[in-house]
Amino acid sequence: MKKIPSPVAKISLAAALTLSFSTNLMAETEIQWWHAMGGVNGERVEKIAKDFNATQKEFKVVPVNKGNYTETMTAAVAAFRAHKQPHIVQVFEVGTATMMAAKGAVYPVEDVMKDAGVSFDKKDYLPAVISYYQTTDGKLLSMPFNSSTPVMWYNKDAFKKAGIDKPPVTWDDVEADSKKLQASGMKCGFSFGWQSWVMIENFSAWHDIPFATKENGFAGLDAELVFNNDNVVNMLGKVGEWQKSKIFDYGGRRGDSLPKFVNGECGMWMNSSAYYGAIKKQAKFDFGQTMLPLNPAIRKTPQNSIIGGATLWVLKGHDKGDYKGVAQFLKYLSSPKVQAWWHQETGYVPITTAAYELSKKEGFYDINPGTDTAIKQLSLNAPTPNSRGIRLGNFVQIRDVINEEMEAIWNGSKSAKDAMDTAVKRGNKLLRKFEKANK
Taking only the tens place, the pLDDT of each residue in 61-97 is: 999 999 999 999 999 999 999 999 999 999 999 999 9
Predicted pLDDT at 241:
98
Q: Name the pLDDT band for 129 (thresholds 50, 70, 90).
A: confident
**Averaged pLDDT of the chain:** 93
pLDDT reading at 9 higher than 50: no
pLDDT reading at 209 higher than 90: yes
Q: Which of 26-40, 144-158, 248-262, 282-296 has the lowest mean pLDDT?
A: 26-40
Assess contact for 91 and 311: CB atoms under 8 A: yes
pLDDT reading at 8 higher than 80: no
Predicted pLDDT at 27:
74
Taking only the tens place, the pLDDT of each residue in 159-201 is: 999 999 999 999 999 999 999 999 999 999 999 999 999 999 9
Q: Whole-model pTM?
A: 0.89
Mean pLDDT value across residues 99-116: 94
Strand partners, 86: none
* DSSP assignment string, 157-221: HHHHHHT--S---BHHHHHHHHHHHHHTT-SEEEEESSHHIIIIIIHHHHTT--SBHHHHTTT-T
Closest CA to 210 of 438, 392, 390: 390
Domains of the chain: 27-148+308-366 (3.40.190.10), 150-305+393-437 (3.40.190.10)
42 to 177, 289, 337, 352, 382: CA distances (angstroms): 36, 24, 19, 22, 33
Assess contact for 391 and 217: CB atoms under 8 A: yes
Assess contact for 303 and 267: CB atoms under 8 A: no
Taking only the tens place, the pLDDT of each residue in 18-62 is: 444 444 445 799 999 999 999 899 999 999 999 999 999 999 999
Assess contact for 316 and 105: CB atoms under 8 A: yes
* DSSP assignment string, 358-410: HHHHTTHHHHSTTTTHHHHHHTSSPPPTTTS----TTHHHHHHHHHHHHHHHH
Predicted pLDDT at 102:
87
Q: Name the pLDDT band for 12 (thresholds 50, 70, 90).
A: low
Predicted pLDDT at 4:
46
Provide CB contacts within 8 A for 408, sequence distance 6+: 414, 419
Mean pLDDT value across residues 413-428: 98
Mean pLDDT value across residues 339-352: 94
Provide CB contacts within 8 A for 375, sequence distance 6+: 126, 349, 350, 356
Mean pLDDT value across residues 310-325: 97
How many percent of the chain have pLDDT more than 90?
A: 88
Predicted pLDDT at 148:
94
Predicted pLDDT at 137:
85
Taking only the tens place, the pLDDT of each residue in 361-392 is: 999 999 999 999 999 999 999 999 999 999 99
